Structure 1
């Protein structure tokens, strides 16, 4: 491989015009595609095949006339009204204030036509769809309940209780709400619409009411990304300038990284025209792509600088840099891509999309580092390390001549007494992992939002006024098509009675029967909040009661709703964790086996990853769930799918530093150094550039902590600390200690396995032999 990459690097340096032109054409084509083919993003958490999703699918099949089969995808806004202290919403002043709000709402163009009808002139079917204030809606519901009680075969008292459970006005008449449906999908929700919704609420606020707004149409969170990427790039620029002591050299990795994330993000934008992608997908892809792109270019530029001290031929130096450091880039990139693509094993579409998008940006980063970077080096020629910073020395990061460096003194101490740093590193990460035992998971919702936002305040008002279960009702879809006993109506009543007998049920009632009369929707209002474990217990109890009903009368049903969906997500993730780890770790182990030609080195690399990811979970739980350090004002459960996503990404990044650092040790070992000498010399050559790369990656990730989105914020924090733990504790403390303790055994491999494994030559041994004899001693030769 090193020989092949050497040729690519040398070709790109010499044919810089053609290579740069090709990449610019790709960039332009991606830009045109993004402008003409893109579609809206869609934040959906549906998971095909789960019980909750099966219930949604059944409802869509049996109730095709219902709009928005998945409530999590519906475009709507809920206006929540609260009367002033000591007053009720039944007062004339409160009614007029609410009517003024609704009048402005009806003037919003995107409101569904049926809801725009003025209730003062509506009649018949139009009257049923008209927006009315909660007091009037409550009166209509109670009147209908009393008049239809006899037809439904229930007492008036039971009918009134059901009506009150559905009523948008609470029992004290102090809190009420109005649901406003909007046309289109989430792609039609923009800043102008949100401003119109907020302006409508101001009409009630100015009249003395408390008016808060929740729902997808009113979400005031701006799309993630933008300034955070600039902050990360800015910090990376400072680190690169301090690392190379040259403004031009510092700019080269940034130029290639920016081009890479532009192509990657535009490619993802093109993909939105063909598939549904979450709004978080591009941000996560850019976050990871930017970090690895800068790091990969940094390693090659650093090696290029080192090769210039060994040969005067700059194209030769570029070829050697790509052939050696580029080999490590390829394998490091492959580990990241494997970990991201393997997210498909989990079986959650939006998680699969996130992984695929991020893997695409990593692939682009690798390709650019191997081709565009040497071409740009050729473009700058002898000015590649120009623009020297006066107070900094332009130096070769891999040079070990002159007085002993801090890295050399440090690794020499580690090699002399490896047990001490090994134990210290393991104990430190183990202690940091302790908070992870309290990990709690949940999907993002208004209930976990920032208390300062209107949507969270609306959620809290409903919970306080109606009871916590009002914010997260369950929907039971009952299928009586294969009934074996009695009538469908009797079967529906039997299901209602069974559900009502469960603990934690405030109300259960039939809210719809399809035209065929064989399927019913039962709305279940729990007494507990959506995130309360008691609500998930209720879901499981309702599901558990289905078997007896099916056996006795042939009826079946499914349970859906926010809590049911969250529970199914958690269970799916839990079931997929072991297969996912097996795929990722197994494939990466084989890859590292090829790279290092050793059994113990990949094994210790994997064990080190487990330590760093455990410590990362502990730190993330402590800060985001427990609120340590005051980093966030709203401690909350960790987003359900973050752990498995984090495991995949951290594993890929962890192997990055393993490959970059330990391949230098391997390179020294195969060129004749003893095992301990290889650890010492290899670490001394690679530590400075790996440290710079880790600091850059940490900075890029940490910049995303400023994002308002809780998932992006927590992922940015988790990836930043994961890089710190893995690069500076695992790869620079634990792994060198283990390598020194193992000695020659670290590089042991059964002879039969060594014979059947292909030699990928990441150390450049074949490259050294293939070069002209006059240059032979200069390529990869061991240095004292």
Structure 2
């Protein structure tokens, strides 16, 4: 027997050292019946408490109160009863809407809307005579409605108002669209999609576990922990809704991650438990060792994922912040469920863990080494430059489409193509160009048009000469190409202030509209101006994300470097893992553009309305979640490599051992998470399709190309240098590093 083998066996067969996790495991295993009874009670209470969560979640949350565009819209609503409409009725008649019964029904509809609580203004062709609110064929018209309050208030008002407006209109057929009805449809569709995803993911997850373990008993344990985690997740989200707004999308992502990660973490603990039984340990001792080793890695891995989510807190929009709160809580719940529920389950099952497993003896016989994954690692390490360079080049090439990414804000086209709110919005886009919303609105608080008419006219005239501007409407008249084309309107001033509407023929999400917003803001105004509108909101969102993104990246990079140093004692491994994790995201970001922006290969994820751009916040959300998951698998692989390296001092052998011990495990874990997240790609909402498909692809690429090929290649190239750290940091790690004793 070699010296290195003696050293390794001595390390593994020593008395189990005391520690918090070891103490927890021993206590839970010793009182496993009480612990499991309490777990069952918790799951039941959690299911009851978390029931009906959907009605407490919020749709929207893509803007911040600090945005200039948001402040402009609020001022327009409060002072002028103006601003972009958030509820649009598309009204259709068999004949001319301006004559006969259709006209009378249209005027009645407007009166009913105007008299409803929470309505700021109602505009229509029947009340204003504005030709832009009547289609060219004369049979379709728009009713533009502004609802008061913040997003949640507007959504509640719309929910109560829309059913009363679309029904009972005689000769008119009425459909609702606009931000408020779209948000309500997104909320409804999201709940339906969640049920579908869960029904699809659960049996596939069990099947993967059965293939990985071969034993129905062993496969069932992680599923039980996953159920407890999801029940706890619902309670966490419900409690969060009492203190902060929580996006409706948090439910889809958090429950998927809650189940997937809980199953993954439990999978690692069960696998280690089986190994320890195979080495001849008693049940309780095997449970304690499993929690001290795999359980410790689970806690550390959960911390890395939580810190990735924490980076989202730097952004002031509650769509991202609520996902950060939910993600942090859910990952913590998954780790807690695995660490606290698995020990009593294992103590109860004991040596029956391999029952109904015909391959149990073969698995135990092979537990000391050898196998396909070890062979793959050794093959890679014989040609590390060729393999490492090939994989890196491939991943970089897959990322190239992202260099052509274009970004916009979520609108009705996130809904399925046949959704009424989406089809109604298409009518607005194609038949009422520029009528639905003014691309740019400008509030001028404190400028009285009666006293400073000349200044206001000069400003409106200069605005009308900006490239792409069709017309500027104001209290002193309408202007086009630097000259007045229509008389003054009293609708543009109140309380000693005024506002202007800048119309154009470009979509608010287009680059031309963004340039126009910047040009308007750069133009000298008679008083400090607030520039709003949909295009201005896009500009504000991009600026906010650009300002805050470096801080988010700094949180992720610094925290990961520190944690991996405390875990490994090396300054080389953390840097290398950060680069590897970034490469694992390349395929997802490239596919994001190729499929969801440009519309190629749509059959892979099902039909959706592609807009030619990506929702602005999704890449940031995907980066934080996928990076955390990639770091999760890095920690599990490194933990086994480091364990062997400390026992033998042989870097090549340690890498082969680590890949062999974790290859099948990480592959199964990645398949489970990819299945759970990929189930979201069956959603009818394109944003969930994008998140589900992108995250599933990132996990699979990380578990195969990165962990199976790139990591062994780079570990072999650097050899013992992988574990290098300068003297002061070595001493720091000796005092503060994360150790198993």
TM-score category by the smaller chain? 0.7 to 0.9
**Deviation, structure 1 residue 24:** 4.5
Q: What residue number does 1:275 align with?
A: 244
Per-residue CA distance 1:642-674 (angstroms, 9 max, x = gap): 111111111111111111012101100001141
Structure 1 stretch displaced more, 428-437 or 2-11: 2-11
Residue 134 of structure 2: aligned partner: 169
Match of 1:681 among 634, 637, 657: 657
Contact 2:609 2:686 in 1 (8 A): no
Distance 1:202 1:395 in 2: 76
Does the C-alpha gap of structure 1 residues 398 and 356 become closer, same or farther in structure 2, counting only changes over 3 Å? farther
Task: Report the Cα offset of residue 200 of structure 1.
Answer: 5.1
Partner of 2:126: 136
- Taking the aligned partners of 1:189 and 1:373, their CA distance within structure 2 comes to 47
Written as runs of structure 1 = structure 2, the 5 A alignment for 1:7-46 is 7-24=23-40, 26-27=42-43, 30=46, 34=50, 39-46=56-63
1:576 aligns with 2:548: yes
Structure 1 equivalent of residue 557 of structure 2 = 585
Which residue of structure 1 aligns with residue 13 of structure 2? none
Q: Given the superposition, is the C-alpha separation of residues 307 and 354 from structure 1 closer, same or farther in structure 2, using an over 3 Å criterion?
A: same
Distance 1:413 1:335, change over 3 A: same
Query: Quick one: which of 669, 672, 676 aligns to 1:696?
Result: 672
| Structure 2 CA distance for partners of 1:522 and 1:113, relative to 1, 3 Å | closer
SS at match of 2:470: strand
Q: Which of the residues 457, 471, 477 maps onto 1:507?
A: 471
RMSD across aligned positions (CA): 3.3
- In the TM superposition, what is the alpha-carbon distance from 1:686 to its structure 2 partner? 1.2
Determine helix, strand or coil for the equivalent of 1:523. Answer: strand
Residue in 2 that maps onto 1:55: 72
The one of 513, 516, 536 equivalent to 1:535 is 513
1:307 to 271, 276, 293: 276
The DSSP-based 3-state class of the residue aligned with 1:480 is: coil
* Post-superposition CA distance 1:257-280 (Å, at most 9, x none): 111121112221232233222211
Q: Which of 197, 208, 211 is the aligned partner of 1:242?
A: 211
- Distance between the aligned counterparts of 1:748 and 1:203, measured in 2? 80
Aligned runs of 1:605-684 on 2, under 5 Å? Answer: 605-631=577-603, 632-636=607-611, 637-684=613-660
Q: In the alignment, is the contact (CA less than 8 A) between 1:292 and 1:697 conserved in 2?
A: yes
Q: Tell me, yes or no, if the aligned pair for 1:329 and 1:366 is still in contact at 8 Å.
A: yes
> Who is 1:351 aligned against?
320
- Distance (whole Å) between structure 2 residues aligned to residue 452 and residue 249 of structure 1: 45
- Separation (CA, whole Å) in 1 of partners of 2:718 and 2:147: 66
Between the aligned partners of 1:667 and 1:420, the Cα distance in structure 2 is: 28
One of 257, 264, 268 as aligned partner of 1:288: 257
Residue 714 of structure 2 is aligned with which of 738, 748, 751? 738
How far is 1:496 from its partner? 2.7
Q: Which moved more, 1:561-570 or 1:441-450?
A: 441-450
Equivalent residue for 1:214? 177
Provide the residue aligned with 1:79 in structure 2. 90
Aligned ranges 1:143-222 → 2 under 5 Å: 163-164=130-131, 167-170=132-135, 173-179=138-144, 185-187=154-156, 204=172, 212-215=175-178, 216-217=180-181, 219-221=184-186, 222=188
Partner secondary structure for residue 556 of structure 1: coil
Cα–Cα, structure 1 residues 735 and 104, in superposed 2: closer, same or farther, change >3 Å? same
* Contact in 2 for aligned 1:5/1:322 (Cα 8 Å): yes
| 1:119 match | none
Seen in structure 2, the aligned counterparts of structure 1 residues 79 and 324 have a Cα distance that, compared at 3 Å, is: same
CA–CA distance in 2 between the matches of 1:263 and 1:412?
42
Q: 1:714 aligns with which of 662, 677, 690?
A: 690
- Residues 202-251 of structure 1 show CA distances to partners (whole Å, capped at 9, x for unaligned) of 9645xxxxx54313236544242122023222211110011111112111
SS of the residue 1:757 aligns to: helix
SS at match of 1:54: helix
CA contact (8 A) 2:147 2:157 kept: no
Equivalent pair of 1:411/1:683 in contact (CA under 8 Å): yes
Work out whether residues 471 and 529 of structure 1, in 8 Å CA contact, stay in contact via their aligned partners in 2. Answer: no
Q: Does the CA-based 8 Å contact 2:438-2:501 persist in structure 1?
A: no
Measured in 2, the distance between the counterparts of 1:723 and 1:2 equals: 35
Q: Indicate whether 1:432 and 2:410 are aligned.
A: no
Instruction: Using the TM superposition, give the Cα deviation of residue 15 of structure 1 relative to its aligned residue in structure 2, in angstroms.
Output: 1.8
Distance 1:135 1:54, change over 3 A: closer
Structure 2 CA distance, aligned partners of 1:431 and 1:401? 38
The alignment partner of 1:173 has SS state of coil
Name the structure 1 match of 2:352: 383
Q: Answer whether contact 2:407 2:614 (CA < 8 A) is retained.
A: yes
Gaps of 5+ in 1: 117-125, 143-162, 206-210, 767-784
CA gap 1:310/1:759 in 2 versus in 1, 3 angstroms? farther
In the other structure, the counterpart of 2:482 is none
Matches of 2:34 and 2:158 in 1, distance apart? 43
Superimposed CA distance per residue, residues 75-121 of structure 1 (whole angstroms, 9 cap, x where no aligned partner): x342243x66xx644454xx53x755886898xxxx757159xxxxx
Distance 1:737 1:100, change over 3 A: same
The alpha-carbon deviation at position 367 of structure 1 amounts to 0.9
Equivalent residues of 2:106, 2:126 under 8 A apart: no
What is the alpha-carbon distance in structure 1 between the residues aligned to residue 661 and residue 266 of structure 2? 17
Distance 2:521 2:514 in 1: 11
Q: 1:229 and 2:193 equivalent?
A: no
What secondary structure sits across from 1:178 in the alignment? strand
Structure 2 distance, partners of 1:324, 1:305, is 13
Structure 1 residue 364: deviation in Å?
0.5
Give yes or no for contact 1:492–1:520 (8 Å, CA) kept in 2.
Answer: no
Name 2:14's counterpart in structure 1: none
> Aligned in 2, Cα 1:36/1:178: closer, same or farther, shift over 3 Å?
closer
Instruction: Give me the TM-score of the superposition, normalised by structure 2.
Output: 0.86
Q: State the distance in 1 between where 2:96 and 2:363 align.
A: 73
Q: CA separation in 2, counterparts of 1:245 and 1:760?
A: 40
Aligned equivalent of 1:464, options 407, 412, 430: 430
User: Residue 538 of structure 1: CA displacement?
Assistant: 1.2
Question: In structure 2, what is the equivalent of residue 409 of structure 1?
Answer: 375
- Give the aligned partner of residue 5 of structure 2: none
Q: Distance in 2 between matches of 1:442 and 1:243?
A: 42
Q: What CA distance in whole angstroms lies between the structure 1 residues aligned with 2:584 and 2:569? A: 24
Structure 2 alignment gaps of length 5 or more: 1-16, 475-489
Shift of 1:30: 4.6
Contact 1:104–1:200 (CA under 8 A) maintained in structure 2? no
Match of 2:7 in 1: none
